[in-house]
Structure 1
Amino acid sequence: MSTIEMHEAAPDASAHHALPDPGEAVPRIALPTVGIFLAALTAFVLSTTGYISGWAPVWVTIPVNAAVTFVMFTVVHDASHYSISSTRWVNGLFGRLAWLFVGPVVAFPSFGYIHIQHHRHANDDDQDPDTFASHGKWWQLPLRWSLVEYFYLKYYLPRARAADPSKRLPRRCCCSP
């Protein structure tokens, strides 16, 4: 099986595991994902302006915008796998724009690195950055889930310091190509 080598703008993992080739070429542009992005963006704009203008009640706006956050993660996920477009910067653009709705605390390139490490080390308690979400007493889990940025930074920062200085934390704003 061939492999896809990811060229992240983040540090390499200490134990590198190649990602399997899914066997399908990345399209020039994945219209379903672009459609999801545009539909979610439209829903957000309509519900938010509707609330501000007074024609959409809060009990409509909050669930719609919560659904937008959930749906935008699909776009972020696809962008972190570079599967929205065969043109690399298009993935970065959609990922960064969708990320603003999902979790603007950790930058999209950092999330992309962390997510790929999750796939490389799935269910490895020492290397999988997502183990915090399921390892703990049942009553601690909601608190852990609410602290996702803390756990991601705890995973990312030690690896960023050991990397090439040019690959440390992003130096430009989250919207830079």
Structure 2
Amino acid sequence: MEAVEQRKIIKAVRNEPALAEVFKVPILSLPTSLLFVVFYVGFGATTYMYLQGAISWPLVIVANAIFIYISFTPFHEAVHRSLSRVNWINETLGTMSAQLLLPGFNTSLYRYLHVLQHHQHTGEADADPDVPFLIGSVFTRVARWAFLDVLWVRYYVGAWTTRPVAERVRFSVGVLIYISVLVIGFTSSFINEFLVAFVVPCLLARIALVYLFAYIH
């Protein structure tokens, strides 16, 4: 079934009066919002304890990888406009949720990659941005999972001329933010802490996410 036909069916179902309450998006999804608090507080607390010498480096890597993994849930819900029916709340919380997993990324950018491209062109080699995650050797696949940001940036640049100007501006600002985070982290006197508390957990979280939600899904 073509994506256009699928969307027509989904729209018809969502507009069915008897099902209106089922599809109603709350002003703010409390369970998802709670996850937002949990992963930021958890990440901050474990990082602080590590910097104070209260917990070991293996523990902070595992803990922060879990918290970064959790951060994908509110981000994903916002991308599907399910976090809040108030648009600015949905977009803001979604973008904030992305910052540990993908610094600089925003809700609308991932909506383009995930909803408009992946869901509409699932499995199409030339159109689905997630296809590279599924092919190649084990090493190649895992490397792509860890550095999914590179793949997605390349994909977006390839579609540059087709995207709205405002979105391209947000994308460019996001890339600058991301590069700034990496430059500051790797040139500071806290490079070891930066690697242990953020970089390695982030890469592990990405690998787990892509494996569970794209590779075996």
Structure 1-normalised TM-score? 0.78
Cα deviation digits, residues 118-173 of structure 1 (max 9, x gap): 11111122211100100223342112223312221222122221334344341785
> Who is 2:56 aligned against?
57
User: In the alignment, is the contact (CA less than 8 A) between 2:79 and 2:111 conserved in 1?
Assistant: yes
Is contact 1:43–1:68 with CA below 8 Å preserved after alignment?
yes
The range that moved more, 67-76 or 153-162, is 153-162
Secondary structure in structure 2 of the residue aligned to 1:168: helix
- Residue 105 of structure 1 deviates from its aligned partner by 5.3
Contact 2:108 2:167 in 1 (8 A): no
- What is the one-letter code of the residue matched to 2:112? Y
Counterpart for residue 134 of structure 1: 134
Percent of residue pairs identical: 25
Structure 2 unaligned segments of length 5 or more: list them.
15-22, 178-217
Contact 1:160/1:169 (<8 A) preserved: no
Q: Any residues of structure 2 matched to 1:160-171 within 5 Å, and which?
A: 160-170=160-170
- Cα pair distance change 1:145/1:172, threshold 3 Å: closer
Which stretch of the first structure deviates more once superposed, 62-71 or 49-58?
49-58
Provide the rounded CA distance (Å) in 1 between the counterparts of 2:104 and 2:170.
13
Pairing of 1:81-92 with structure 2 (within 5 A): 81-92=80-91
Letter in 1 for 2:80: H
Letter in 2 for 1:129: P
- Cα–Cα, structure 1 residues 88 and 25, in superposed 2: closer, same or farther, change >3 Å? same
Partner of 2:72: 73
- The alpha-carbon distance between structure 1 residues 171 and 122, as it changes in their structure 2 partners (threshold 3 A), is closer
| RMSD after superposition | 2.5
1:137-176 correspondence to structure 2 within 5 Å:
137-170=137-170, 173=173
Query: Equivalent residue of 1:82, what SS?
Result: coil
After TM superposition, the structure 1 = structure 2 runs for residues 7-18 of structure 1, keeping only pairs within 5 Å, are 17=4
Question: With structure 2 as the length reference, what TM-score do the two structures score?
Answer: 0.65
SS at match of 1:83: coil
Unaligned 5+ segments in structure 1 are 1-14
How many aligned positions are there?
Answer: 161
Q: 1:123 aligns to what?
A: 123
CA distance in 2, matches of 1:130, 1:105: 20
